[in-house]
Amino acid sequence: MPQRQIQNVPPDEVLSLLGSAAEGLTNEEAARRLKQVGPNVLSEPDRHAWLKALGRQLINFFTLLLLGAAGICAIAHQAAPDEGMDLMGWALSGVALLNALFAFVQEYRAERAMQALLGFLPQQVTVLRAGHPVRLTADQLVPGDVIEVGEGDRIAADARLLAGEGLSVDNAPLTGESRAMRCRPEASDAARTVDADNVLFAGCSVLRGSGRAVVFATGRRTEFGRIAMLSTEVERAPSPLERETAHMVRVLTAIAVGMGVAFFVYGLVAGRPLLVNLVFMMGIIVANVPEGLLPTFTLALAMGSTRMAKRQVLVKSLGAVETLGAVQVVCTDKTGTLTRNDLRLTETVAGAPDADGAPRACEGDALRALIEAAYLASETKLVEGERRGDPLDVELAGKLEELGARPEAIDEARAEVLPFDVNLRRAGGRSAERFAVKGAWMALRPMIARVEGEAADEEALAATDALVTALTRRGKRVIAVASRPLGPDEEAAGERPREALERDLDLLGLLCLEDPLRPQVPDAVAAAKRAGVEVIMVTGDHPETATEIARQAGIVEAGAEAEQVAMTGQVLEAKSRAELEAALEGGTRVFARTTPAQKMKIVQALQGLGKVVAMTGDGVNDAPALRAAELGIAMGKQGTDVAREAAQIVLLDDDFASIVAGIQEGRTVFANIQKFTNYVLVSNGPEILPYILFILFPVPLALTVIQILSIDLGTDIVPSMALGREPPEEGIMDLPPRSREESLLSFRLIAHSYFFLGLLEAAWSLSIFAWVMAEGGWRIGMPIPASDDPTYQAATGAALSTILLMQIGNLIGRRSRTRSGLDAGLFRNPLIVVGILVQIVFSWAVLYWAPLQTVLATGPVDLEIYAFAWLGVPLIWGADYLRKRVAGWLRARGPSPDAAAQ
Amino acid sequence: MAERIQRIHVADDGSEHATWILHYALRMARHLDPPRVQVLHVPNGGASLPAVHRARQESFAERLGVELVFRDLPATPDVAAALSDHVRPGAEDVVLVGFRAHRHGRGLALGTGGHALLERHDHAVLAMRVVEPGNLGLPRVAALGLSESPGLVERLAPAAQLLAPDLEELWLLHVTEVQRRFLGALSYPRLRELERHGLETLERCEATLRRTVELPPRVERCTDVAEAWPTQLVMDAHRAHAHLLLLGASDHLLPRRFSLSNPLEAVLRNAACDVAVFRAASPGA
């Protein structure tokens, strides 16, 4: 019983299967079907997509928290207009909107992706209706419609070919395969529709010839439509950084709200007025929540992506910058990524080896005959004096000219072209007198009757087998060339079935091509391996050729054999996931003769082993996998628009070395995020402690809410950004990839920020606060001074100024996990200098510049006190440097990981 | 364990979508004894099926060696009741019926005959949406969406029995749904633990299926943790290159009112392959 899909059905049955006829559908039947199945469109545009995207950002947890806090400030301002709560409310609202806007701009991509998709379908098509060809808009096509296609046409729907004349199509938008596919109407044996040569696919185009086909799938039911819709509508899983950021925000918010509510309740129980408790609760929450952190995150990622763009890596999703740094395995294409995609003819070899089995150079007349035959089986065009076509074909034309022959003569004599068939793995050409074919040796072998004019027996063919194997082991791509003269009855013009031509051929020789490795690839692979990143090659090429390239690139050891490290797509197909995982763990690093469809299986197996995988891809078929993978990398030059839209990273120069550069940048970004997170959290200590003391003891509040905001939303922003711009630390690529368990907000970081440096800043600033209060005559037990008391204002100003100055020492120390922070030179990152200047200027201005004094309710102090505040800089820097030295000493003595915290 | 299905019926409203579903019915019926499909024509506006439409269906059936029996049902607003009245109650009969092929601004399941029949328990129902008409009802690769729901795999077994003879590959899919706020905070050890649990579930399901269904040579398992199981499931089905995604119906799955967030609507809307939702007859029907 036939197991048949549309491609397996003979052409004479297809029409009745689809309820159609040779003259097409009637208009009434077409209208009926249009109503049932809908128009032939890929999408129904969502005009409100941008609004929904913005809305999503406005209702996320952090934004709602800030807006809620702003609301409370507005209420508090109504009750007590002189407390400045309105200013705080506006500031919090501004931060909330800023956060939402940043996230919206980065996340909203649907519009661009949709535009790319819509461009793939043609506007109009020629359809047979009741026997008459009519031009219709493509959206009116229905299953059963008979369409006519010609050279240059884009195909509007999936259709089964009924008749064709020299029809060749370019399926690259769907499959990424750049070779033309020759189409024929006969039933195909292909198990999958997408592999069939008798199906025309929507979104692809006709390169040559013409044909007539019956539509069987339209709109979102086409191969293109189903895949493209999936790649744009399915949400990507959150990246590791997004998870970490969300986790960190929740933890900090929980701490902030918990403390705030606790002190609110305590204040109520202690009998303080409701408004006062409300203000202090806001103060605790504001002090704990690092309002400037999320915009700084986004800015750091944006700066990282800008740096990566300079290294030819375009980041389309900001989180991908950091994910690249966590990558443990890179699955990379070969041609064009590891190699230059510049196939060169480097050697011409006779079809039979010498007596010792070694290759013999093809020379003289034999060489000319070889090149002429190879060119006959090729096709180029002269466009404005320049020869254009497949690079090999162009090279053959050049070689002919070197030999003193005229390619134009062969072009004129060529009566028929059989373009390269990716399944048959050969191309052919015919003149009036001769037929020639070139392609993979194993594809030609069954047709060979002679080798260099001598009758070929099995022994001779086996000798050529061995010769080809030896050449591929040397990394060459071997193209066999064979031809035969045509008999008198074959000389008539007109197409002949391929099978009739491809017989009794004489093997003339072998063309050896090399696609050289990109010169920077071996170093890039070595750097990746040092960084603990495995590289796996996935290619459609021969396993021997692929393994040789892998050896040259350093992906496998110099002496590795293909049997040990390579696996073909055929073997891969038969393996279960568990077996594939075992093979990967056993050292398989090269996947050859694979299709884009098999790539996903490799990635899934690697993910099953717990690896963070980056995958390269270029076809529409790759698009959903690129979007759903932890990191999809599309090719900028040879990739499709849909693949580029679906991926998070685009290699602008298609160069593997750029991926490794991107990994280094990604690691740097994560390290920098840790640095400025640590930096920002340190200032929480001196912000929170005054409130705790104020609630627990009869002491004045050392820092007001407005002053806290001036740090979190003001002076800390530039230094945070400066840390976000730190260049890669030495040795960052000598460390293994970040563990997936490594958290951004670890206990070590919290302890270091809150209980070490934060406590130190708090202690020093509060000491200076107390000193100023004491100088002004205030003692414990006396009434709490009013907020406009000059001594109180001077004291809070001094405390604030101290914190600002100590943040300079904190900033310098955060530049390095293990070193002083001064060794790298401050001017290596000019923004660090700017950050320091900002702190210095503000530390002075809060005390001595009237406008700022008014806004922040501060006052001047003696210069002696200001000088003491400056002592906080070496104090905090020195204490942290001492900690680093001790930690380093302990590390040198034994395993004592000094993890994320600095 | 549900009984083996012996008879196949197809609800046909004369549409192209119904024709695509008929292909499935004919493929499945080839393995029954006798190989027969009853086409229940549900009149659209009172008209019976055009002769050319019937002739076309008969030619499909003849190619596959399946007997086709036609029955015109009286026009009635309650299509599901009309269909059920003409099908023997019990587990041995299954009705293949379609969801909407095209949204027309509405949902794909809500208000369709498929939806209505799935809510009844008189007999087995396989409601489908076909987006790969070129497969002609021959899914060489199928995916089963499974969960910890007790008895789910046993309830899906009759449908699997019908599909299995033509399959070359079967994927068992499982998605653990975690809310985004927790997914963001999910530690990797916990993530791995959930994935491991999912795989164990799939191993048990496979063992249960093998007791009653002759599975194809290749059976693969895939488990994921995601914030929305419908979209993750369709993505996994695509990665598996499945031609058909088979789900088990439940009251939770079926939409009560139009909502894009309803899981079944989400699956039907996003799936890149044919989707079938199966409900076995309730015991004692």
Q: Which residue has the higher pLDDT, A42 or A830?
A: A830
Q: What is the DSSP letter of B47?
A: B
Write out pLDDT tens, residues A369-420.
999 999 999 988 777 778 877 778 888 999 999 999 999 999 999 988 887 7
Which of B103, B218, B272 is opposite residue A230, by nearest beta carbon? B272
Q: Which backbone phi and psi does B247 adopt, to 5 degrees?
A: -120, 160
Cβ of B183 within 8 Å of Cβ of A250? The answer is: no
Q: Kindly report whether the peptide bond that precedes residue B34 is cis, defined as omega within 30 degrees of 0.
A: yes
Calculate mean pLDDT across residues B53-74.
90
Task: Examine the domain organization and report whether A733 and A860 are in the same domain.
Answer: yes
Question: How many Cα atoms occupy the beta-carbon half-sphere of A782 within 13 Å?
Answer: 11
Nearest to A301, CA basis, from A659, A666, A658: A666
The CATH code of the domain that includes B193 is: 3.40.50.12370
What pLDDT is attached to residue A335?
A: 79
SS3 string, A531-594, reads: CCCEEEEECCCCHHHHHHHHHHHCCCCCCCCHHHHEEEHHHHHHCCHHHHHHHHHCCCCEEECC
What residues does A217 pair with on adjacent strands? A158
Task: Examine the domain organization and report whether A26 and A134 are in the same domain.
Answer: yes
Task: Examine the domain organization and report whether A27 and A53 are in the same domain.
Answer: no
Cβ of B101 within 8 Å of Cβ of A38? The answer is: yes
When scoring A63, A221, A621 by the number of chain B Cβ atoms within 10 A, the one with the most, hence best to mutate, is A221
Question: B1 in a domain, yes or no?
Answer: no
Task: Examine the domain organization and report whether A696 and A824 are in the same domain.
Answer: yes
Task: Examine the domain organization and report whether A88 and A153 are in the same domain.
Answer: no
Q: What is the mean pLDDT of chain A?
A: 84
Q: CA A300 to CA A313: how far, in whole Å? A: 16
Long-range own/partner contacts, residues A627-630 (CB < 8 A, 24 or more apart): A627/A231, A627/A232, A627/A234, A627/A236, A628/A234, A628/A236, A628/A237, A628/B235, A628/B239, A629/A603, A630/A237, A630/A239, A630/A323, A630/A327
Give the containing element (helix H, strand E) for A212: strand A205-217
Cβ of B134 within 8 Å of Cβ of A199? The answer is: yes
Task: Examine the domain organization and report whether A747 and A889 are in the same domain.
Answer: yes
CB A821 within 8 A of CB A835: no
Task: Examine the domain organization and report whether A464 and A555 are in the same domain.
Answer: no
In angstroms, what CA-CA distances link A570 with A196, A400, A437, A602?
18, 38, 26, 13
What pLDDT is attached to residue A30?
A: 94
Cβ of A221 within 8 Å of Cβ of B131? The answer is: yes
Q: How far is B23 from chain A, CA to nearest CA, in Å?
A: 10
CB A373 within 8 A of CB A484: no
- For the cut 60, the answer to whether the pLDDT of residue A234 exceeds it is no
Write out pLDDT tens, residues B68-92.
999 988 877 788 888 888 888 778 8
Look up residue B226 and give its two tokens.
Answer: 């995601």
Q: Are strands A426-430 and A434-439 parallel, antiparallel or unpaired?
A: antiparallel
In angstroms, what CA-CA distances link A748 with A255, A683, A743, B130?
16, 16, 10, 55
Cβ of B270 within 8 Å of Cβ of A234? The answer is: yes
A229 touches chain B (CB under 8 A): yes
Question: A261 in a domain, yes or no?
Answer: no
What pLDDT is attached to residue A885?
A: 93
Name every chain A residue with its beta carbon within 8 A of the beta carbon of B235.
230, 234, 624, 628
Q: CA B272 to CA B141: how far, in whole Å? A: 13
Percent of chain A whose pLDDT exceeds 70? 86
Cβ of A741 within 8 Å of Cβ of B103? The answer is: no
Q: Which amino acid is at B226?
A: A
Look up residue B158 and give its two tokens.
Answer: 């009759």
- For the cut 60, the answer to whether the pLDDT of residue A628 exceeds it is no
Complex-level ipTM: 0.86
Nearest to A366, CA basis, from A383, A348, A379, A381: A348
Q: What is the number of structural domains in chain A?
A: 5
- For the cut 70, the answer to whether the pLDDT of residue A44 exceeds it is no
What pLDDT is attached to residue A627?
A: 58
Cβ of B136 within 8 Å of Cβ of A5? The answer is: yes
- For the cut 70, the answer to whether the pLDDT of residue A522 exceeds it is yes
What pLDDT is attached to residue A106?
A: 58
Look up residue A212 and give its two tokens.
Answer: 């007539």
Nearest to A30, CA basis, from A120, A132, A117, A150: A132
CB A110 within 8 A of CB A221: no
The CATH code of the domain that includes A183 is: 2.70.150.10
Nearest to A156, CA basis, from A246, A104, A225, A254: A225
| The residue to which tokens 């041609």 are assigned | A335
Which of B101, B131, B234 is opposite residue A36, by nearest beta carbon? B101
| The residue to which tokens 């009745």 are assigned | A16
Residue burial A832-851, b: 16+ Cβ < 10 Å; e: rest: beebbebbeebbebbbbeee
CB A646 within 8 A of CB A621: no
Q: Name the domain boundary from A233, A259, A285.
A: A233
Write out pLDDT tens, residues A195-213.
888 999 998 888 888 899 9
Q: Residue A62: closest CA among chain B residues belongs to which residue?
A: B181
- For the cut 90, the answer to whether the pLDDT of residue A802 exceeds it is yes
Could you tell me which residues come within 8 angstroms of residue A512 by beta carbon, excluding any fewer than 6 positions away?
Answer: A345, A346, A347, A348, A349, A471, A476, A477, A478, A479
- For the cut 60, the answer to whether the pLDDT of residue A86 exceeds it is yes
What pLDDT is attached to residue A902?
A: 45
Q: Which residue has the higher pLDDT, B274 or A542?
A: B274
Nearest to B26, CA basis, from A33, A3, A158: A3
Could you tell me which residues come within 8 angstroms of residue A462 by beta carbon, excluding any fewer than 6 positions away?
Answer: none
Name every chain A residue with its beta carbon within 8 A of the beta carbon of B135.
5-6, 193
Question: B284 in a domain, yes or no?
Answer: no
Look up residue B126 and give its two tokens.
Answer: 């396989």
Q: What is the DSSP letter of A727?
A: P
Q: What is the number of structural domains in chain B?
A: 1
Question: A242 in a domain, yes or no?
Answer: no
What pLDDT is attached to residue A389?
A: 75
CB A350 within 8 A of CB A632: no
**Per mean pLDDT, which range of A112-121, A184-193, B123-132 is the poorest?**
A112-121
A387 touches chain B (CB under 8 A): no
What pLDDT is attached to residue B276?
A: 96
Q: Which amino acid is at A194?
A: V
Q: Residue A245: closest CA among chain B residues belongs to which residue?
A: B184
Cβ of A19 within 8 Å of Cβ of B60? The answer is: no
User: Which pLDDT band holds residue A444 (cuts at 50, 70, 90)?
Assistant: very high
Question: A173 in a domain, yes or no?
Answer: yes
Give the containing element (helix H, strand E) for A874: helix A863-893
What stretches of A221-330 show up as alpha helix (H) in DSSP? 223-233, 240-269, 274-288, 293-310, 319-326
CB A830 within 8 A of CB A719: no
When scoring A6, A12, A29, A36 by the number of chain B Cβ atoms within 10 A, the one with the most, hence best to mutate, is A36
What pLDDT is attached to residue A293?
A: 74
Calculate mean pLDDT across residues B188-208.
88
A49 touches chain B (CB under 8 A): no
What pLDDT is attached to residue B1?
A: 44
Name every chain A residue with its beta carbon within 8 A of the beta carbon of B59.
16
Calculate mean pLDDT across residues A138-160.
92
Task: Examine the domain organization and report whether A16 and A150 are in the same domain.
Answer: yes
Q: Name the domain boundary from A88, A115, A142.
A: A115
Residues 833-862 of A with CB under 8 A from B: none
What pLDDT is attached to residue A207?
A: 81
Q: Name the domain boundary from A654, A685, A703.
A: A654
A10 touches chain B (CB under 8 A): no
Which of A5, A142, A600 is opposite residue B135, by nearest beta carbon? A5
A220 touches chain B (CB under 8 A): yes
Question: B274 in a domain, yes or no?
Answer: yes
Question: B141 in a domain, yes or no?
Answer: yes
Task: Examine the domain organization and report whether A165 and A111 are in the same domain.
Answer: no
**Per mean pLDDT, which range of A482-491, A675-684, B255-264 is the poorest?**
B255-264
Q: Of the spans A284-293, A642-651, A875-884, A893-902, which averages the highest pLDDT?
A: A875-884
What residues does B36 pair with on adjacent strands? B67
Count of beta carbons in the 10 Å neighbourhood of residue A788:
10
Could you tell me which residues come within 8 angstroms of residue A457 by beta carbon, excluding any fewer than 6 positions away?
Answer: none
Task: Examine the domain organization and report whether A110 and A142 are in the same domain.
Answer: no
Q: Which backbone phi and psi does A900 adopt, to 5 degrees?
A: -60, -35
A577 touches chain B (CB under 8 A): yes
Name every chain A residue with its beta carbon within 8 A of the beta carbon of B188.
740-741
Which of B56, B131, B135 is opposite residue A19, by nearest beta carbon? B56
Task: Examine the domain organization and report whether A610 and A724 are in the same domain.
Answer: no
Q: How far is B242 from chain A, CA to nearest CA, in Å?
A: 11
Look up residue A394 and give its two tokens.
Answer: 């162009």
Q: Are strands A477-485 and A434-439 parallel, antiparallel or unpaired?
A: antiparallel
Q: How far is A625 from chain B, CA to nearest CA, in Å?
A: 7
In angstroms, what CA-CA distances link A574 with A80, A523, B169, B202, B219?
75, 35, 11, 21, 11
What is the sign, positive or negative, of the torsion defined by CA atoms of B263, B267, B269, B275? negative
User: Which pLDDT band holds residue A288 (cuts at 50, 70, 90)?
Assistant: confident
Range of the domain at A794: 672-893
Cite the active site residues of A: 333
A235 touches chain B (CB under 8 A): yes
Question: B122 in a domain, yes or no?
Answer: yes
Q: How far is A56 from chain B, CA to nearest CA, in Å?
A: 13
Nearest to A735, CA basis, from A891, A895, A589, A527: A527
**Per mean pLDDT, which range of A95-99, A351-355, B263-267 is the poorest?**
A95-99
In angstroms, what CA-CA distances link A394 with A384, A391, A400, A401, A407?
15, 5, 10, 11, 10
Q: What is the DSSP letter of B107?
A: -
Look up residue A269 and give its two tokens.
Answer: 């129980």
What pLDDT is attached to residue A479?
A: 93
For A325-476, strand residue ranges (E) read 329-333, 344-349, 380-383, 386-389, 416-421, 426-430, 434-439, 448-451, 454-455
Which of A36, A220, A600 is opposite residue B131, by nearest beta carbon? A220
- For the cut 80, the answer to whether the pLDDT of residue A276 exceeds it is no
Residue burial A23-62, b: 16+ Cβ < 10 Å; e: rest: ebbeeebbebbbebbbbbebbeeeeeeeeebbeebbebeb
Q: Which residue has the higher pLDDT, A65 or A216?
A: A216
SS3 category, A635: strand
- For the cut 80, the answer to whether the pLDDT of residue A126 exceeds it is yes
What pLDDT is attached to residue A447?
A: 94
Q: CA B6 to CA B33: how far, in whole Å? A: 7
- For the cut 90, the answer to whether the pLDDT of residue A794 exceeds it is yes
Q: What is the DSSP letter of A737?
A: P
Question: B98 in a domain, yes or no?
Answer: yes
Write out pLDDT tens, residues B161-185.
999 999 999 999 999 988 765 555 5
- For the cut 70, the answer to whether the pLDDT of residue A341 exceeds it is yes
Name every chain A residue with its beta carbon within 8 A of the beta carbon of B54.
none
CB A378 within 8 A of CB A477: no
User: Which pLDDT band holds residue A111 (cuts at 50, 70, 90)?
Assistant: very low
Question: B285 in a domain, yes or no?
Answer: no
- For the cut 60, the answer to whether the pLDDT of residue A893 exceeds it is yes
A52 touches chain B (CB under 8 A): no
Range of the domain at B220: 7-279
Name every chain A residue with its beta carbon within 8 A of the beta carbon of B52.
19
A17 touches chain B (CB under 8 A): yes
Q: How far is B153 from chain A, CA to nearest CA, in Å?
A: 22
Q: Which residue has the higher pLDDT, A669 or A246?
A: A669
Which of A230, A597, A604 is opposite residue B270, by nearest beta carbon? A230
The CATH code of the domain that includes A739 is: 1.20.1110.10
Task: Examine the domain organization and report whether A126 and A176 are in the same domain.
Answer: yes
What pLDDT is attached to residue A367?
A: 94
Largest CA distance in chain B: 63
Which of A33, A160, A246 is opposite residue B184, by nearest beta carbon? A246
Could you tell me which residues come within 8 angstroms of residue B175 by beta carbon, excluding any fewer than 6 positions away?
Answer: B145, B147, B198, B223, B224, B225, B226, B229, B232, B233, B236
Name every chain B residue with its beta carbon within 8 A of the beta carbon of A227.
238, 272
Question: B57 in a domain, yes or no?
Answer: yes
